[in-house]
Structure 1
Amino acid sequence: MPRSKLKPQKSDEAPWYADGLRFECTQCGKCCSGEPGYVFIDDAETAAMARELQMTVDEFEQKFTRRVGRQSSLVEYPDGDCIFLEPKTRHCMVYKSRPIQCRTWPFWDSTLETAADWKETCEVCPGAGTGRLYSFDEIEVRRKEKSV
């Protein structure tokens, strides 16, 4: 997954996306596949996904998570796809309880740093740049939920 390189903005400078950005999730699964990375999850997210899959938290953790330092991350298939990206339909198997990191896509620090970063996001995500216009405030709420 992309890593953030966000540089602090001067307080009097409006971000390049101040007029808002368009996004409409197509549930294509492209944001859940590709290069290996991490989807860090907390205890509440783990419990919610376990509930959705009708598993105990212990069963869920043993089957679907790995330790990365002090944090837990979802495991991946060998090709880098998320373990919950259903291979045939390319849909998320835990969409209703997906982690914050997934719910806030594509409004991540790493996709919003520059207009060029957003353009790259639009090239790989068919929903980025189309659909509903999110206001600057809506984008900021999502961006600040989790630093990615």
Structure 2
Amino acid sequence: MSRTGTKKSKDAKGPWYQSGLAFECTQCGACCSGEPGYVFVNPDEIDAMAAAMEMDVDAFEHKFTRRVGNRISLVEYPDGDCIFLHPESRHCLVYQARPIQCRTWPFWDSTLQTKADWKETCEVCPGAGTGRLYSFEEIEIRRTEKSV
């Protein structure tokens, strides 16, 4: 393992994705649906999403967030879909103000551990592996950004 916590390939002098990775969001909604989970948000993200929804922050928090221990997460539909994933168009209702956790997809530790993890990501995300090439440095910035 390297200092960044990612596995190095045997031949490389850095993580396996040292040469960069391609990604272009297609806004398909695949990363916003599926099994229940958490989208943790901070106060600045809540403010931005409330503004995008043209809502008072308190009303927004009451309707769209929940406490998980000492953190705050967005609520979701019973099937696990994000509350901001439009059920018909499958587009994000707050895309321009989406949380950091969403903005940094697919450059998460879980998708970058190995080439096989990235391959699995590419199989479920039509934008992963296509589009703009992100440099190693850009990936590392996104990989290490934290919401809370």
TM-score when normalising by structure 1: 0.91
Shift in Å at residue 133 of structure 1? 0.7
Opposite residue 27 of structure 2, the aligned amino acid is Q
Match status 1:121 vs 2:121:
yes
Q: Deviations over 1:70-106 (max 9, x none)?
A: 0000000000000000000000000010000000100
Mark the CA change 1:46 to 1:14 in structure 2 (over 3 Å): closer, same or farther: same
- Structure 2 counterpart of 1:60: 60
Question: Distance between the aligned counterparts of 1:36 and 1:7, measured in 2?
Answer: 26
Q: Percent identity?
A: 73
Shift in Å at residue 137 of structure 1? 0.5
Question: Distance between the aligned counterparts of 1:93 and 1:30, measured in 2?
Answer: 14
Q: Deviations over 1:106-148 (max 9, x none)?
A: 001110011111000000000000111111001001111128x
Secondary structure at the aligned position of 2:117 is classed as helix
- Structure 2 counterpart of 1:130: 130
Question: Distance between the aligned counterparts of 1:13 and 1:62, measured in 2?
Answer: 48
Secondary structure at the aligned position of 1:66 is classed as strand
CA RMSD of aligned residues (A): 1.7
Opposite residue 118 of structure 1, the aligned amino acid is W
Mark the CA change 1:126 to 1:9 in structure 2 (over 3 Å): closer, same or farther: closer
Question: Distance between the aligned counterparts of 2:6 and 2:50, measured in 1?
Answer: 37
- Structure 2 counterpart of 1:3: none
Question: Distance between the aligned counterparts of 1:83 and 1:68, measured in 2?
Answer: 16
Moved over 2 A (4+): 6-10
Secondary structure at the aligned position of 2:129 is classed as coil
Secondary structure at the aligned position of 1:129 is classed as strand
| Residues 34, 79 of structure 2: 8 Å contact kept | yes
Question: Distance between the aligned counterparts of 1:48 and 1:27, measured in 2?
Answer: 19
Opposite residue 32 of structure 1, the aligned amino acid is C
Residues matched between the structures, number: 141
Instruction: Give the unaligned 5+ runs of structure 1.
Output: 1-5
Secondary structure at the aligned position of 2:121 is classed as helix
Question: Distance between the aligned counterparts of 2:78 and 2:98, measured in 1?
Answer: 21
